[in-house]
Amino acid sequence: MTDGLISRIQRYSTRDGPGVRSTVFAVGCPLRCKWCANPELIEAGMKLIFHRQRCVKCGACAGVTGSRRAGVCFYDAYETVGVNITVMELAAKLLRDKAFYDQSGGGVTYSGGEPALQADFFLEVTKRLKAESVHVALDTSGHAPWDRLAALAEAVDLVLFDIKAVNSETHKLYTGADNRLILENAQRIADTGREMIVRLLLVPGVNDSGQEIDGRLAFVRGLKNVRRVDILKYHRLGAGKYAGLGLDYPMEGVPECPEGSARYAAEKAMDMGFEVSVGG
């Protein structure tokens, strides 16, 4: 049985589906979104993040290399990202909070990164959770071969689907891939009858124009079983992680999403009859 590679489990989440949830962050993503708030989850494998602001230059890590630095630092200046975990181990950790799921109408959400890259692993975890009547959601970019995505999407109760741009050239410029497969998979999931929440991120100067917003919403209107549209406002909260990984921040100088853009998108979505949530 295949093990999984995850970074963390965020307990008591309220923004990744209904009720109180545990969100599992998978490591590895096929896209290279320039605004990604979790750059440590893009490349597969374990990484080491250096939190410079925590370092007091005590010298404890002198002569120590690689991930071992995290084990000798007294101030948590080094953080390892990525842990191998078995299906049974992850399911057991998630089931510890079943009482909270039951009381709140919540459950478990797979996020990332891209969980579909580890579809076999998360499918096995889902089977164990569903045997205990736990609600399961998948948060996906949709950029995965359908034969990998289909079984996982059909096994969960809810799919949170990100549509980053309707213009293919814009999508490729800012994510490294065109959006044909993503839009095809959104339609395929909708055709299965699976309940969906569609998430639209707004990045100033990238995908927040009226034309882009209208185009994405027009596409969403053609999907069946869309429970809600989430308008997500671009923020810079992940910028520090790039420095910790020794990377330049690709969106340097881009302001956070203004309220006007979010309000326009929300009003347009509500005019189409969608339930709408606005967040960051």
Tell me what the pLDDT averaged over the chain comes to.
Answer: 94
Token pair in block for residue 23: 């969100």
In 27-60, which positions are buried (b, 16+ CB within 10 angstroms) versus exposed (e)? bbbbbebbbbebbbbbeeebbbbbbeeeeeeeee
- Predicted confidence at residue 1, as pLDDT, reads 56
Residue 51 within a domain:
no
pLDDT in tens, 16-59: 999 999 999 999 999 999 999 999 999 988 888 888 888 888 88
Q: Are 167 and 146 in contact (CB under 8 A)?
A: no
Length of the chain: 280
* E strand intervals along the chain: 4-13, 21-26, 47-50, 78-81, 83-85, 107-111, 135-140, 158-162, 195-202, 226-233, 276-279
Residue 149 clears pLDDT 80, i.e. is over it: yes
Residue 60 within a domain:
no
- The one-letter amino acid at 187: Q
- The one-letter amino acid at 267: E
Q: How far is CA 258 from CA 30, 67, 162, 201, 246, in A?
A: 29, 39, 20, 12, 29
Residue 53 within a domain:
no
**Average of per-residue pLDDT across 152-174:** 97
Q: Are 113 and 42 in contact (CB under 8 A)?
A: yes
Residue 116 within a domain:
yes
Q: Which residue has the higher pLDDT, 275 or 246?
A: 275
- Predicted confidence at residue 76, as pLDDT, reads 87
- Predicted confidence at residue 53, as pLDDT, reads 86
Residue 178 within a domain:
yes
Residue 280 clears pLDDT 70, i.e. is over it: no
For the chain, percent of residues with pLDDT exceeding 90? 80
Residue 69 within a domain:
no
pLDDT in tens, 91-147: 999 999 999 999 999 999 999 999 999 999 999 999 999 999 999 999 999 999 999
pTM: 0.91
pLDDT in tens, 229-238: 999 999 998 8
d(CA 169, CA 167): 6
**Average of per-residue pLDDT across 218-233:** 95
Residue 72 within a domain:
no
Residue 66 clears pLDDT 90, i.e. is over it: no
User: What CATH number does residue 227 fall under?
Assistant: 3.20.20.70
**Average of per-residue pLDDT across 186-201:** 96
d(CA 268, CA 208): 13
Q: What residues make up the domain containing 219?
A: 4-41+85-235+249-279
Q: Provide the domain count of the chain.
A: 1
Residue 194 within a domain:
yes
